[in-house]
Copies of this chain bind each other. A is one copy, B any other.
Amino acid sequence: MSKRYHHGDLREALLDAAVRTLDAESLDAVTLRRLARETGVSHAAPYHHFSDLDALLAGVAARGFRMLREEMSRKAGPEDPDPFVQLRAAGTAYVTFAVLHPELFRLMFSGRWPGAGQPPELQDAAERAFAVLREMVRNATLPGADQGAEAVESGSRASWALVHGLAMLLVDGRLDARPGESPVDAAERITLEGTGVLGRGLRSL
């Protein structure tokens, strides 16, 4: 933090600043010049670490997926032997993450990097996050699965879509918290209710 000429780890510092800015404001507020300013560096310095703004945003999104994956793994720890309970815990972690970092969450799913154009780091981080969820769906459904991988795959996608939809609608303010209820509490309650109702379909796969 002294006034050395070389920053030390500007790349990570820029990503930090970007996440901070997203949490405090919005995606529009994330500009290379501003991040440079906040990192105490000239506005041209970031170009030594990111080829352009888009590359930096991809790095931010990748970090977001890593955070999301970690949260899901952590909250759906192996304490509980019921894989269905674990799955719901992971879902809750997913939705809670979105509510805590709405702008970051939006960036991650902004469609800014369509399919093939996705940088490998981002692709990889996203894939690893989804894998957590998919694995848990597999565990939760496999025991009773008569209908093979195809049905399990559908169930997996549907589960993901359910929590993703809940997350998005919450972030959009389309689902209301109860009076006096904190956003995180609302996220947890709504996720448990939603997965409770529709989850029955999964069990009987």
Contact = CB atoms under 8 A, between A and B. Distances in A.
A200 B204 CA distance: 9
A202 B197 contact: yes
A158 B197 contact: yes
Interface stretch (A17-25, A37-45, A68-76, A109-117): A109-117
Interface stretch (A8-16, A47-55, A167-175): A167-175
Q: How many copies does the complex hold?
A: 2
A151 B197 CA distance: 8
Contact of A160 (B111, B160, B163, B165): B165
B111 A173 contact: yes
A155 interface: yes
A198 B195 CA distance: 9
Give the one of A160, A161, A166, A173 with max B CB within 10 A: A161
A196 interface: yes
Interface residues of A, number: 43
A115 B175 CA distance: 10
Contact of A194 (B161, B169, B171): B161
A154 B109 contact: no
Interface in A114-155: 114-115, 126, 130, 151, 154-155
29 contacts: A109-B169, A110-B172, A126-B174, A151-B197, A154-B197, A155-B198, A157-B166, A157-B190, A157-B193, A157-B194, A158-B162, A158-B166, A158-B198, A159-B198, A160-B165, A161-B165, A161-B169, A161-B194, A162-B198, A164-B165, A164-B168, A165-B165, A165-B167, A165-B168, A168-B168, A198-B201, A199-B201, A200-B200, A200-B204
Given A115-B173, A165-B165, 18 more contacts: A102-B111, A109-B168, A109-B172, A110-B172, A111-B172, A114-B173, A154-B194, A160-B165, A161-B165, A161-B194, A163-B165, A164-B168, A165-B166, A165-B168, A197-B201, A197-B205, A198-B198, A199-B201
